[in-house]
Amino acid sequence: MGIVNFRDLGGISAKYGRVKKHRLLRAGELVGLEPADIEMLTGEYQLKSIFDFRDQREIAKRPDMVLPGVQYLNIDIMKDIRENATSLDNVKANLNPQMAADGMREIYRRIVLNPVSRNAYHEFIVNLRELKEGAALFHCFAGKDRTGIGAAIILTILGVGREDIYADYMLTNELRAEANEALIARDRQRGLSESQVLGLRHLYTVHESYLDEMYQAAEETYGSFEYYIGEGLGISQQDAELLRTQYLE
């Protein structure tokens, strides 16, 4: 498979049932797809919508492949906090593991609290509400941070417990292992020190503390993650009930 960090959220148990299969897909960027990948997405999964959480610079460098009959929507999650992007262009010369981990936690906090990011996730959820059939696939570059937060939001709406949300989130490290090692090999060739390489590993992987920071930021500001979804993202109880009807079995 040419899709890195791909998975179907279907089958995860929820308070109100079980997530339907072939409805909610998450992944990294959709570049370099093989014919079998395209057939899987458009045939087996009946893909109808792609939600790309990347910014215009990322898209210009590595645009998603155009898939027949599939609606594409770019929703830039970090439009208002561009300076904190985790690309190599923004890595400081003295990067170390602690700096990287602290920086990632700060990014999660800012994404949750930033009004432009909240509006972006609102747009994502509202569009999911309108998708009556077929699959929706949402992704960013690596499919781990912006995508991971998006997954936590929709899974919470569907009534999935945090233990299962964390399990899905941490699966990224397994599914991106080969891609991450390729990035690390490239970094070493560029002459980065071992301390810098260790720091970059924190940028390339996910850690429970990053998601902890997301929940903590939401709870400190809104009282709970559920209230964050309702008040911060503007997702009504009626919206949530409709989403459960459509995406749960």
| Single pTM value for the model | 0.94
Q: Please give the chain's pLDDT, 249 residues, in tens.
A: 679 999 999 999 999 899 999 999 999 999 999 999 999 999 999 999 999 999 999 999 999 999 999 999 999 999 998 654 444 445 445 578 888 899 899 999 999 999 999 999 999 999 999 999 999 999 999 999 999 999 999 999 999 999 999 999 999 999 999 999 999 998 888 888 888 888 888 899 999 999 999 999 999 999 999 999 999 999 999 999 999 999 999
User: Residue 113 falls within a domain, yes or no?
Assistant: yes
**Which of 153, 186, 157, 187 is closest to 169 using CA atoms?**
153
User: Residue 1 falls within a domain, yes or no?
Assistant: no
pLDDT at position 202 is 87
User: Residue 129 falls within a domain, yes or no?
Assistant: yes
pLDDT at position 228 is 98
User: Cα dihedral angle (170, 174, 179, 185), rounded to 10 degrees?
Assistant: 100
C-beta atoms surrounding 163 within 10 Å: 7
- In contact, 31 and 62? CB cutoff 8 Å: yes
User: Residue 2 falls within a domain, yes or no?
Assistant: no
The CATH number linked to 127 is 3.90.190.10
DSSP per-residue string spanning 109-124: HHHHH-HHHHHHHHHH
- In contact, 108 and 216? CB cutoff 8 Å: no
Total structural domains within the chain: 1
Q: Dig out the tokens for 147 from the structure.
A: 């995508």
pLDDT at position 83 is 52
Domain interval for residue 240: 7-247
User: Residue 68 falls within a domain, yes or no?
Assistant: yes
User: Residue 122 falls within a domain, yes or no?
Assistant: yes
pLDDT at position 100 is 87
DSSP per-residue string spanning 47-77: EEEEEE---HHHHHHSPPPP-TT-EEEE--T
pLDDT at position 89 is 47
User: Residue 103 falls within a domain, yes or no?
Assistant: yes
pLDDT at position 1 is 60
- Distance from the first to the final alpha carbon of the chain: 28
